[in-house]
Amino acid sequence: MGGKGGLGLWTIDGGAAHDRVMPHDHSDHDHPHSLLPPDPALRVKALETILTQKGLIDPAALDEIIDTYENKIGPKNGAHVVARAWSDPDFKAALLENADPVLAEMGYYGRQGEHMVVVENTESVHNVIVCTLCSCYPWPLLGIPPGWYKSDAYRARAVREPRKVLAEFGVTLHKEQAVRVWDSTAEVRYLVLPKRPEGTDDMDEAALTALVTRDSMIGCGLAARP
Amino acid sequence: MTRIHDMGGRFGDGPVVSEPEHVKFHADWHPRALAITLACGSLGLWNLDISRHARERLTPKDYGRFSYYEKWMAALADLLVETGAVTRAELEQGTSDGASDLADKRLAAAAVAGVLANGGPATRDSNIAPIFAVGDEVQIRSVPENVMVSGGHTRLPSYAAGATGTIVRLHGAHVLPDSNAHRLGEAPEPLYAVAVKARDLWAHPEHPDDEVILDLWQSYLSAP
């Protein structure tokens, strides 16, 4: 293992060129994580084993957390909010004015969604959400972030060339529409209220919910047409 | 000086590849990594800002090569050792040397729903009054560094440093990460949403009307 004694600074490359000796970053030596196995699955397993043995985590609690984000909390929550805003002008006004009490009343408060702001897409403005410094995301409304939201490419590019990024999602904006990119640099989490699609005047809230995609609430998609 | 995690505006990354909504995790160990990290957060040994900083101070080489949850695991292992919850020897041998005296703080399965539902609000009472109002023009600090701790945590992205923007929202007083990440106190102060024109950030903006809005603390801002 790298990190043990003087020779620990050198790691034998176990790959095809196993006769080569690879230099190991000296600074890694100070990071305790380098003592864990390099394979990520084994790293997680080792941490879980140690922490369970020490009584610091309860595997049943881990199962409960996973079940929450796999099965209970996801974009359906946000879709419910959007469909209601499309259907009820008073609700929409209250949501845009001060989202927190409105969302709390619907039961959509919680970790990584303590301070919510909802921003509305209109004929003149299209909103996009990003977190360039990490991957902040409104968990109680959308669940855990998708892989692309956490990717270097999205974090790097969404602020500088949002229109090119949107094009990669198949979204083309009108020339008159300005793009507002919200970089989530604090504990405020943002949700986009997408434009209600045309041809949905007769649809009720439940039917509208099905049109609200996750990506439309991040601003990288539009609501589906019926 | 910018650091590896501060990548807004960076050139050279490839396309953004979308994925279907039903994909939650990309490997069997991802949900375990997520859950272990959240469960350890409940031990009360660190705060959110400390855990973010732990990910950001991975070496640039590790930050670049690690996937999202690998960063989480590496930062968690570092924090567990730094706070004395786990020893280096335990990490190396992969087994425990004995029960922890923090075991009574362990997150129980029955408590999970409550902990996730309660969250951890960052708003606080503050004796620092807002000095800017919606519509005011502000100058963003020109050096995107922590002014209290050299090389410390900050939430001022380098791409916005030195730019002039306009206050579009006051969020109230929030915990200051630059202080809280280093156990220097929560130091709450007013937090604003600040709109900056894309043309004031980039040499080649895509559209004259586009803008980027960032959440910035009062101490990051001054009157122009």
Give tens-digit pLDDT for A46-93.
Answer: 999 999 999 999 999 999 999 999 999 999 999 999 999 999 999 999
Report pLDDT for B160: 98
Phi and psi at residue B214, in whole multiples of 5°?
A: -120, 150
Q: CB distance from A15 to chain B under 8 Å?
A: no
* Average pLDDT over every residue of A212-219: 98
Instruction: List CB contacts (< 8 A) between B103 and chain A.
Output: 54-56
Q: How confident is the model at residue A12 (pLDDT cuts 50, 70, 90)?
A: very low
Give every CB contact of residue A52 below 8 A, 6+ residues apart in sequence: A58, A59
**Measured between CB atoms, does B173 come within 8 Å of chain A?**
no
Say yes or no: B168 contacts chain A, CB-CB below 8 A: no
Q: Which of B87, B153, B156, B213 to mutate to test the interface with A (most CBs of A within 10 A)?
A: B213
Q: Please give the average per-residue pLDDT across A175-180, as a whole number.
A: 95
Q: Which residue has the higher pLDDT, A87 or A28?
A: A87
- In chain B, beta strands by DSSP E: 137-140, 164-174, 189-197, 211-217, 221-222
The per-residue pLDDT for A9 is 36
What distance in Å separates the CA atoms of residue A25 and residue A184, rounded to the nearest whole number? 32
What per-residue confidence (pLDDT) applies to A28? Answer: 54
Asked if B65 is an interface residue toward chain A (Cβ–Cβ < 8 A), one would say: no
CA distance B164 to chain A (A): 16
A220 is catalytic: no
> CA–CA separation, A140 vs B35, rounded Å?
16
The percent of residues in chain A predicted with pLDDT above 90, rounded, is: 86
Tell whether the model's pLDDT for residue A10 goes beyond 60.
Answer: no
Chain B CB contacts of A54 under 8 Å are 85-86, 90, 96, 98-100, 103
Domains and CATH numbers, chain B: 29-118 (1.10.472.20), 137-222 (2.30.30.50)
B108 touches chain A (CB under 8 A): yes
CB contact under 8 A, B155 and A164: no
Q: What is the pLDDT of residue B121?
A: 96
Would the pTM of this model clear 0.90, i.e. be above it?
yes
Q: Which residues pair with A117 in a beta bridge?
A: A190
| Chain B residues inside the 8 Å CB shell of A66 | 31-32, 34-35
Q: Does A159 touch chain B (CB under 8 A)?
A: yes
Residues B211, B197 contacting (CB under 8 angstroms): yes
Q: Which residues of chain B fall short of a pLDDT of 50?
A: 1
**Residue B30: predicted pLDDT:** 98
Residue A1 clears pLDDT 50, i.e. is over it: no
Measured between beta carbons, which residues in chain B are less than 8 angstroms from residue A5?
none
What integer pLDDT is reported at residue B55 of this predicted model? 97
Check whether A29 has a pLDDT greater than 80: no
Q: Which of residues 78-137 of A touch B (CB under 8 A)?
A: 109-115, 117, 130, 132-135
Percentage with pLDDT > 70 across chain A: 87
- Domains in chain A: ranges and CATH: 16-57 (no CATH), 74-218 (3.90.330.10)
Q: List helix spans (H) across A68-213.
A: 75-87, 89-97, 99-105, 139-142, 147-150, 152-157, 162-168, 205-209
pLDDT at B3: 86
Instruction: Single out the residue of A106, A203, A220, A103 nearest to residue A162, CA to CA.
Output: A220
Write down how long chain A is: 226
Residue B2's pLDDT is 67
Q: What does the pLDDT average to over A138-144? A: 97
Taking a C-beta distance cutoff of 8 angstroms, is the pair A142, A218 a contact?
yes
Cα distance from B115 to chain A (closest Cα, Å)? 8
pLDDT of B165 = 98
CA–CA gap between residue B105 and residue B41 (Å, rounded): 10
Instruction: Fill in the DSSP letter of residue A7.
Output: G
Top residue of A56, A106, A125 to mutate, by most chain B CBs within 10 Å, is A56
In the numeric block, the tokens 């922890």 are attached to: B100
What is the residue-averaged pLDDT of chain A?
90
**pLDDT at residue A5 is higher than 60:** no
Find tokens 């209109």 and name the residue: A122
Residues A182-204 pLDDT 10s? 999 999 999 999 999 999 999 99
CB contact under 8 A, A27 and B217: no
Query: Does ipTM exceed 0.95?
Result: yes
Q: Does A167 touch chain B (CB under 8 A)?
A: no
